[in-house]
A and B are shown apart, each in its own frame.
Chain A
C-alpha cells in the first residue's frame, strides 16, 4: 500500500522491521528510514517504509487532518506504474 497515512506500531521485529496496524490491517514494514521508533508510536507509511515518526497526539491531529482533506479510509493497494 502506498497510502501515506499514520499507522500504529504494534511490534518491533528483527532487522529494522516492525509490524503496524492500519485500520485493523496488520502488516510488516521497514523502519530503515526513521530512528527511535517504539511500540505505540505512529509512523507515516509509504510503499512499505516508515517515512517519519509521530507521537500519539500528533498522530491523532494528523488523522483528523487527513480525514478533513478527504484522504484516508480503508488501506488500499499502491499504484505501481
Chain B
C-alpha cells in the first residue's frame, strides 16, 4: 500500500485481550482510552475474550496496550495481550464499539461483586432516580454468576431477560461512555425487579415499604428469610438472644456459630479485633464472611452467637438490599457519610439450608422448605439461576516480621466462583467430583481449573442433586465435555458413584485418587508445582489405599504418584463414624491404649454405654482403627472434658483451639511423643501427651499444652522425614490446617528449619479443595509418557 507522506505515519494494530474481560465494562474502558489517545478503530467481544483494532500514532498505540494492562476495570483480570500489525486504513475515522459476534461464547462469566461506591452514592442520593432502589448495579458491580443460565453472558441468558429496560435504562445501556453500558442486569424501579414481603403462610403483606417493614420485624425478634444473590438467608437481630436461640432451634443447628452482618468496618471493630488484612477482606468486593478474633463484647451483647469460640464470623453488606436495611435503621440519611459511622444494627445472616439440605434459591421452594423456620419472607422477582453460598475466609496475623498477611479459604463460593485457578500445564479437560464433606467439584480447561461453588455435605439426596447440577452447570458455562473424570477412592460416596457413571456414559477414563494425595495435590496445583515434595496431610478421615481410615499422613508426592512414608499412630474407632462424633469415645480409646481401660466407665459415667465401650475396645477385631489427626484432637478434647459430644463437624478441635488461645503460651509436655519406624514409615505417637492430659485439671492449660506439644512433635517428625527422603519442600494440606496455630506456627517453624513450605491459599485446605487436587493428579497421570 502506498504511503501518504503528507500525513504523520499511521500504525494499525490488531490486539487480542484474554482473561476475565467480558461483562466487566471492558469495551467502554477501551473506548475511553482510544478517545484519550486519539485512536480510531473498533472493539468487540468474541469467543476468546476481547479483540480490537486501534489505529494512530505508534506511541499512542503502545500507550493503549500498556494502559489496557495497568488500568483495567476493577472486576477485570487481564491474563494476556497479543498484538500484530495490520494494514492501516487512512479513511478510518473515530472509534466504535461493535456488538458481540453472533453466537459468541464468553470465555468466563464474571463473579458476583458487592455494590460499588458509585452505585452506593446514587442509592443514598434522594435526587437520584434510583434512590433506595434495591437492585441498583453497573458494570463494576452486582450479580453475574448467580443470575446467568448459559453462555454467552448476555442479558437474554440471565434472569434479567424478563425485565424490559425502560427508555432511561436503555439509553444508559446503549451509551458507550456510560458506567452502565452493557451492564446486563441494568434496571431501575420503573423497569426492574421488585421486592415483596410475605407472611409465614405465604400471603403477601400489604406494605408500601417492604424494607421498613422487614426491619421492624427483625427488630421485634422475627426471623425473616431474605433473598440474596446466591440463595436465601435466614436473618434475625443478632442482639436479641431469644431470636438467635429460636433461629438455632428452628434450623436444627446445635451450637454451630452464626455469621453476623454489620454496616461497615467501624461497626465491625466493635465486635472484633481486626488486623489490616481482615479489614481488607471484609471490605473487598467479594465480601466473604471473615472469621475474626472476637471481643468480649460479643459474649455480652451478641449472646449465644459463637459459644465457647474465640472467633466470630463477620460480613459487610454486599447487595443494595442489605444496605437499605442498615440505611433504614440509620434513619435514611442523605449521602454516604453515615457509612463511615458506627451503626448499631447487627444481623445474623445464615444460609437458608435447613438440616444440611442445599441452599434455598427459589421463591416457591422457600415457602415450602422454610416453613416453620421463617416468620416472614423478603423476596423479589429476579430468579437465582446458580446457587452460591457465602464464602468464608480467614486472614491471619503474621508471626514472621515483615511477612505478608495472607488470606485463606474456609469455604470458597460467592465472589470467587467461577474464577479459575491457573495450573502449571495444560491437559485434557477433567471433571473431578471431590469427596463427601463440604464438597465442591472441579472442571479443568487447558491450564485453568474451575472449582465450583461450595455444595455441602453429600449426606442427603438434595445435596447430591445439587452436586449433579453443579457438575452439569460447570460443563455448560465452560462449554467443555470432560475427557476424564477423577474421584475419591471411597466406593460409597455419591461423588464417586456419579463420577463412575459419567465416565461410563462418556466412555472416558475414571481416575481414583487417594483422599490425602488429593489434599496435597490441591496445594501443589495452585502453586503450579508437581513435586517431588513431602506432603503433610492432617485431616479428619479419608479412605487409605490399604482400606483403613487415614488422616495424619506423610506422603512423598511426585506428579501422579505418591508413597506413604509416615503416619500418626492408629487409634481404635469404636463404632466407626459414631466415634468420630463423640470425642469421649476417642478419649476412651486413648485411655484403653494407655492400659487404663478400667478408668473409662467412672470417667465418662454420664455417657451412655461407657462400660460397653471398654468391652468393645477389648476386642480389637470389632474396632477399625484410624490415623486421623482430627480424632487425636477429639481424644484430647474428650480427656480434658472440653467437648464430649459434637454438634457440628470439628467442634471439639475448634473449642480446644479457642481454649488454648485463651490460656496463652504453654510449655510442651516433656517426652510428649515418640517417633517409631514401622513397615509403613515413621509413626508419630502422641499417646504420652494424652496421658498427661488425662491427669490435667485445668482444661485451658491442657489445651495449650496439647497445641504446644503437637507443634513440636510435628516439627520433629516432618523435618526428620524430609531429611530422610531428601526433600526440601513440604506441602501442608487437610482440614486440620483450619486450626490457626497449625496453619500459622507450623509453616514458621518448618521454614526456620530450612524447608520451603507450601500451603493452601486459593482453595480451602479442607475437603472443599479436594476436587482441585484430584483434577491435578488426573491431568498429570494422563500426560503422554505416564
Contact = CB atoms under 8 A, between A and B. Distances in A.
Interface of A: 1-5, 27, 30, 32-33, 44, 46-49, 51-52, 54, 62, 65-66, 68-72, 76-81
Interface residues of B, number: 44
Contacts of B649: 79, 81
B609 A46 contact: no
Contacts of B615: 65, 69
Contact of A69 (B539, B541, B613, B621): B613
Contacts of B723: none
A44 B577 contact: no
A3 B540 CA distance: 16
Interface in B593-628: 608-609, 612-613, 615-616, 619, 621-624
Interface stretch (B24-32, B79-87, B488-496): B488-496
Contact of A70 (B542, B547, B609, B623): B609
B490 A47 contact: yes
A2 B616 contact: no
Contact of A47 (B437, B492, B574, B623): B492
B184 interface: no
Given A77-B492, A81-B541, A69 B735 contact: no
Contact of B575 (A4, A48, A49): A4
Query: 7 closest Cβ contacts across the A-B interface?
Result: A80-B436, A4-B576, A69-B609, A81-B437, A71-B575, A69-B612, A52-B621
Given A5-B576, A81-B539, A81-B767, A69 B616 contact: yes
A79 B540 contact: yes
B578 interface: yes
B592 to A, nearest CB: 13
Contact of B436 (A4, A51, A81): A81
Contacts of A30: 491, 547
A47 B543 contact: yes
A2 B577 contact: yes
Contacts of B623: 4
B490 A80 contact: yes
Given A2-B576, A66-B612, 18 more contacts: A3-B575, A3-B577, A4-B576, A4-B624, A30-B547, A47-B543, A48-B543, A48-B547, A51-B621, A66-B616, A68-B609, A68-B612, A69-B608, A69-B609, A71-B575, A76-B577, A77-B492, A81-B541
B468 to A, nearest CB: 16
A4 B622 contact: yes
A79 B586 CA distance: 15
Contacts of A48: 490-492, 543, 547
Nearest to B459: A77
A62 B622 CA distance: 8
A2 to B, nearest CB: 4
Nearest to A53: B621
Most buried by B among A2, A3, A66: A2
